[in-house]
A and B are shown apart, each in its own frame.
Chain A
């Protein structure tokens, strides 16, 4: 036992120094009201939290909007990613390797560059508008393509779909293929076989992709900043504004509200996809 604990020491140290301590400091910030900037002195208060939920509903409104946009992007990732993962899993071993490499290829390029590249696709003088103009379909560039919620969701789906595909592929890959044959053998049409056998079997993969897609989008800052425009402002933008204004207390409170939401969500997902329960009893 002691030896095992020694082995955990490096990880524990990193965890405490880089995660736990900053969290505690942020928590203290969020619960303190100080006259001076960056002050941890002053009195205990929950005023920052109250402000998140009041302030004429500005923050609450953006928070809900962030959640709705993240939900839409996650749903799109699942709807596009699931069939693609299914397709990959149904190809030969060799093709699976090729296709999976293609799926993770975007990770070889800088995240910032990839987001920025979308302005070159969706912008007024971007790929789409130039093509439409060249084909004489439009004479004015379509300005609704960029700097709004639409472009923001498009970029979210583009950025996070690999995670959804990989998580769903992993669960499809684990599934015994003969289960589909068995279902069809017992009279299930391909659609029934999918809904009653394949989908329930791969729910852990679906939940994993929700975790990998939905939660990071809640914390997205770069995408709304670069392609979201005014209408695409998300909760993280407001949070960063507070930090820039050195309102650490209020910024920390926003962060903890998001963190609490994520925590509740994770617990909810865990309950609904308890692997133990799914497979054993």
Chain B
């Protein structure tokens, strides 16, 4: 598959205007048909994307999808085999990392162990030849920004993981780069700290107004912090959009599964205007809103998000239902998460809101149905491997 497949799959969605931060329309980073190979392995296939100035942009995907390669290309640590990379209107292909207006927060933090915290932050300022008075002021400013004002004299080895992470952030921000690259910076932290740091990172980004390009495999992380997300798989960008667009309108089975939706395979049986009848591989027939142009016999994926699904022992008329057996039910406070095994061995997840229609938590092993409204699912055309 070549360029045509890429073009077909990428749907650039316009960021919704309701967000609190209107992103500037100027491009901070542009990738134009960038391809990167490692020997016979194609890491990136003609990637094109535009990251706006001041935007919190995430590259989301499983390991090996090319997201870290994309970051390294912007940072200048590797060079593309084809295509162009433009930062602030200037092509940076062939320009070494130390001459790019870009700084990076590394996954391992990469703090210099033989230097104090202040010297670590100072490093970039020294390299750029900033005068001493200015350097001292900016180091203090950075330590304040990351809420570690009295840590200048410490060594990195004396700090906790979360503190080291913030120092790495301060060190990368002190030069006021045009773009800040973050390579899974929260990966090494425990869950609680990770959740705190998400809020902290989003706050810092709003404060400094620098374009953040954030690489992660954690969809929740990408969803909570980003203005826009590019979902990547197998060296391609599958979908670019706001977290809401990605979640509610996934363009492919891969994206839907990656953001945690239930995906069932099926075949169109009948089409009546916008309503279509789908015979699921699991056996049941359901109705759903169909995109135009589908014909009986077409293979489709039915996407049902967990919060749109419910559990019913005896489903009423007019709803879609699949019989199944309760595998697990976890009470989460605001929600109860129920996992049901349906015919074909597929495990479906339903999130039941507390105080919702299904008030009782089902017992494990109980025979039940997963139910959803006909407009509560999305039909995607299956196009082979995407």
Contact = CB atoms under 8 A, between A and B. Distances in A.
A201 interface: yes
A279 to B, nearest CB: 6
A interface, over-half SS = helix
Contacts of A278: 114
Nearest to B103: A185
B110 interface: yes
A178 interface: yes
Contacts of B103: 185-186
A197 B111 CA distance: 10
Interface stretch (B121-129, B137-145, B297-305): B121-129
A201 B104 CA distance: 21
A280 B123 contact: no
A189 B98 contact: yes
B8 to A, nearest CB: 36
A281 B171 CA distance: 20
Interface string B161-183: 00000000001100100000000
B155 A280 contact: yes
Interface residues of A, number: 21
Contact of B98 (A178, A188, A281): A188
A183 B113 CA distance: 12
Interface string A133-176: 00000000000000000000000000000000000000000001
Interface in A29-44: none
B211 to A, nearest CB: 16
Interface in A200-254: 200-201
B106 A187 contact: no
B112 A179 contact: yes
Contact of B158 (A183, A188, A201, A280): A280
B124 A187 contact: yes
B175 A201 contact: no
A182 interface: yes
A72 to B, nearest CB: 29
A280 to B, nearest CB: 6
Nearest to B123: A186
A187 B98 contact: yes
A179 B171 CA distance: 13
Interface in A102-134: none
Interface in A180-202: 181-189, 192, 196-197, 200-201
A176 B110 CA distance: 7
Contacts of B75: 185
